[in-house]
Amino acid sequence: MATDDFTLSEEVRVQTGLTDESALSDEDLLTLIGRAKFEIEDEVRQSVTDFYATSDLEGALFWLSCIFAVGEGAGGGDAFSLGSIEYRPGNGDAYPQSWDDRYRRYIAGVIGAQRNFVGSTSVARDDRSYEYTYTPLDDI
């Protein structure tokens, strides 16, 4: 788990495979991390003072920074789409998730949404009565 922008940038380089600074300089990567912070603040609609305070904030920042870094490393802007990212499942991942899915899961934790909700509900309403009397059209 990263504790600051520098350690996060190292983790992003390892995850994305952009270890060569000729593809993405340290300065550019830190700029992308700053842009990811801005996007997260915009999505949660509040200012964040410490992105490393919770695992959800740090996870959202990590995955969005990875997405931005790959986009920039691929030539940036027009040449890049989320669908073009190839990802490898981690050890023990029975159901591999895309980087965007991982980002969405962490950002949901930040904004307080339930994560991984699966289930159904059944409501019994015994206090209601549904009656219908059939009247043939000929009788009208």
Write out 64-82 in H/E/C secondary structure. Answer: HHHHHHHHHHCCCHHHCCH
Q: 63-83, pLDDT tens digit by residue?
A: 999 988 888 765 555 544 455
Q: 24-44, pLDDT tens digit by residue?
A: 899 999 999 999 999 999 998
For residue 6, the tally of other CB atoms under 10 A from its CB is 12
Q: Which residue, 114, 113, 111, is CA-closest to 46?
A: 111
Q: What angle do CA 71, 74, 80 make, to 5 degrees?
A: 55
Is residue 106's pLDDT more than 50? yes
Q: Which amino acid is at 122?
A: S
CA distance 85 to 45: 28
